[in-house]
Structure formats: structure tokens, C-alpha cells
Chains A and B, each alone.
Chain A
Amino acid sequence: MNKPVPVTDWVSDFDHTDPRWTEDPYPIWDELRAQCPVVHTNRFLGVYMPTTYEAVKAIAYDTEHFSSRRIIVRNSRPPITQSAPPITSDPPEHKPAKQLLLPPFTPDAMKKLEPRVRAICNELIDQFIADPSVDAAARYTKHIPVRAIAHMLGIPEQDGDLFIKWIHEILELGITDEATLMRAIEEMSHYFMGHIQARKSKPTDDLISTLMKARGPDGQPLSDMHVLGSLRLLLVAGIDTTWSGIGASLWHLAKTPADRERLIAEPELMPTAIEEFLRAYSPVTMAREVIKETTISGCPIKPENMVLLSFPAANRDPAMFHDADKVLIDRKENRHAAFGLGIHRCVGSNLARMEMTVALEEWLKRIPDFRLDPAGKVTWSEGTVRGPRQLPLLLGKAT
């Protein structure tokens, strides 16, 4: 595979997989935003990126010119054979597919799952609390969402490592390596088909069975392919996103003792703090495919290009948020778009919030003192979902 040419001009030639973008994208986004509300690159067969909240919002609301049939910017655009409704659906198919998934993810449904998530967090903390240091990304944040979603789906929590491998192959390696992408999708589909088949003779009381029992708008049960697509979505969308959200929050608290102490002293601030971590360190960038020519914030948009729909960049727009580059855990007004805007609002947002809240609460309860390990290096994931993949921490009071 050819190594990409390093970026010298971000405004006309940006690359969201460049190591500098992965390491610290915020100054790059500020530079882009100062130049233009929508920038373009010829890389990845042509991609626009809206840099302002206003432009991101306009595109998120506009399903006439922007399709969700492709939601990841990659080096190639293979024919669409595998969909994952509703995230890859446009109107009118989108609404019925989404409505099937909404009831299992309401805040009330999440309350029922919360005790299991608290137990998962404590089981994980038990394994390293006696150690002087820990890679919190590898041993804590990584495992919480995967076990929670496995629990909801009714599949073994210990299959988590397998899911994490597929997600890495689909969301990161798959940007440039089509063969790996296809193999991962194939393996994952095969795995879930097995679980679907097993439930045909022996229905269970879990999310897979709920989907299998659901009826589509035509009154007929969903096809196996639809169920499979939605399962693929839940797995891919529900894991490294929240892993990233929890990880970035812990990273912030590790390097900001004042916020850590305040959250411990004022636990009622937690919901506001979570929203602020979601704004400032939004993990998820989505994509759209341009299907009709249009104009966004005065910039011409042409078909055959993709759009990198950067909710994280929108959430750092100073025209929308005062002190946009500061993390204020008591920020009162916070219309952040971390979970998207419009019809594609993340179906798992209530799950993500609950997991982030529980993961931070349990950690702070048991490990009130921690800091970044100066001997280690924090590394960040590349591409569509951004969060710490190595988070070396020293545990206990500094001596």
C-alpha cells in the first residue's frame, strides 16, 4: 500500500488520517474554520469538511442533497452491498427502521442495565486497583461498552475481544485496506447469523430476539439481512465510540486535578460534566455522500464527493460556544452535537451517557487520585472515532 503524502496545506489538502490530526486535531480545525466554513480535499476520491457548527448542522438536516448510504470516508468506494439500517438509511426507509431500535434504548431501559454496568466497572477495577500504574484504555475503558452491548444483545461478554478486533479492522484499517474491511464484515456477519439461527428454534429475551420479533412497515417480520445489518450497526457504533468517550474523560481528569477534585466534592455536577466532555472531546465524526449539487454556507458542493461530517469540529466552534476551546465542567448552556443532529441522532446516546456516568463514578469512588504516567505515552485512534487507545496512568497520591 502506498504511504499517503504528508499534508503541507491543510485548507486545500486535509487528511483526517494524518498522524498530526490524530494526535491533536483541534488547532487544525481552528485553522480550517478561520479560512472557510467548508473545506475540500482531493484525497479519498474527494471529500468536503464543514468546519462550523452552522455548516455541520445544515448538512445533517439536509437528506435531499446528502445521503447516509456511505457513512465512512475511505480510500475506495466499493459498491454498497452491506447496509446497516437505520444509520445507512435515508428517508423514507429511515424512520421505520429507526423506530424499531428506539424503545430498547430509552433512558428508562438504560436504568435497568445500569446495575450490570456498575458491576462490570468494579470487576475491571478489581483487577488493577492494587497496581501502582495501569493502562486505563486497555484494561478499563475498552471493556465497559463491549460487555454492556453484549449483555443487551444476549451474546457472551467474553466474545468482546473478537468484537474489538472487527471494529478496529472496519473503522481504522478499513479506511485504506479494503480486503481487511471485507473480511471483518464477513466474519462479523457469519458470527451474528449463527446467533440469529440459534434463536429461530429457541427464542431468548434479548435485543437480538426483539429485533427478530419486530415487524417492518409492511407488517412482515424483518428479513435476516435487516436484523443482521442492525446488529452490525449496534456493535460497530456502540463500542469504540463510548470506549473513546470514557477514555477522553478519564484522560482529562488525569491531567486536570482541579476538575477531578471538584467532581468528587460536587457529584451533582456529573451530568453537566459529562455533557461538557461529550462536547469538548466528541469521539464521533460521521460522513455523508453528496448526491445532488447544492450550496452550504455559501460554498458550492458537488456530487461524487463525500462529506466528513465533523460533529467534534462543530462542537469547538467559537461562534456557537463561548470559550469553545476550554473545558468547563459546569457549562450551563451546551447544545453540543456529539450525538449528531436531525434524524440520525445516535440511537445509543442514552446508553453512552449512562456508561460514561457509571464508569467515571465508579472509578472516582475507588481511585480518587490518579495522574498521567510521564513514562508512558497516550495514543489516539485514527479516523472516524477519536479516543485514547493507550492511557497510562499512575494510581494513588503523588509522593
Chain B
Amino acid sequence: MAGKLKIHVDPDKCQGHSRCKSLAPELFELDEYGNAHEIGDGTVPDGLEDKAWLAKSNCPELAIDITED
């Protein structure tokens, strides 16, 4: 069985385009400057894997990493 996906936003790369938040609001939150962070420890709940990949593939700054446990 495949492991759980984990997402991480690199705060040095994120420039606050907020594409991830608009595509996957369940997985990302924005700070007061509009920069994105993964919610919690970044573990992607079952059923949201496609949204995680979609967010990653739309980030203009390549700031989102996805790893598999």
C-alpha cells in the first residue's frame, strides 16, 4: 500500500501567488502577508492527493515539495 503524502511549502521560495490556497484550501493556509504554509504537519488526508499534486503543478515559484512516507 502506498504511504501518505506530505506537503511542504518552502518559505524562501513562496512569493504569495496563493495559487495553492485557491486550488487546495484544505491543505494550505496563508499568513498575514499572503504567503502560503502547509496546514498542520503537511500530511495529506486520504482523498486529497490529487489536489496536492494540482497545487504543486501550479505553483509558479516551484515552492511546494511533496514527499511520500
Residues of A in contact with B (beta carbons under 8 Å apart): 99, 102-103, 105-108, 271, 275, 332-337, 339, 341-343, 345, 349-350
Contact = CB atoms under 8 A, between A and B. Distances in A.
B57 interface: yes
A307 B16 CA distance: 25
A334 B59 CA distance: 8
B54 to A, nearest CB: 7
A341 B61 contact: yes
B58 A107 contact: no
B30 A107 contact: yes
Contacts of A334: 58
B24 to A, nearest CB: 12
Nearest to B16: A345
Nearest to B14: A345
B42 interface: no
A102 B58 contact: no
B21 interface: yes
7 contacts: A103-B34, A105-B34, A106-B33, A271-B22, A332-B57, A335-B57, A345-B15
B59 A335 contact: yes
Interface residues of B, number: 18
Contact of B34 (A106, A271, A275, A337): A106
Contacts of B57: 332-333, 335
Interface in B14-39: 15-19, 21-22, 30, 32-34
B60 A107 contact: no
Given A105-B34, A341-B61, A332 B16 contact: no
Contact of B15 (A106, A275, A342, A350): A342
Given A106-B33, A341-B15, A342-B15, 8 more contacts: A102-B16, A105-B34, A106-B18, A106-B32, A107-B30, A339-B17, A345-B17, A349-B18
Interface string B46-69: 000000001001111110000000
A33 to B, nearest CB: 19
Interface string B3-18: 0000000000001111
A383 B50 CA distance: 40
Contacts of A102: 16, 32-34
A349 B30 contact: no
A105 B62 CA distance: 22
Contacts of B16: 102, 345
A350 B18 contact: yes
Contacts of A332: 54, 57
B33 A336 contact: no
A333 B41 CA distance: 25
Given A332-B54, A333-B57, A335-B57, A106 B30 contact: yes
A99 B32 CA distance: 10
Given A335-B59, A343-B15, A345-B16, A107 B34 contact: yes
A350 B60 contact: no
Given A342-B15, A350-B18, A99 B33 contact: yes
Contacts of B21: 107
B59 A103 contact: no
A271 B54 CA distance: 14
Nearest to B61: A341
Contacts of A339: 17, 60
Contacts of B17: 339, 345, 349
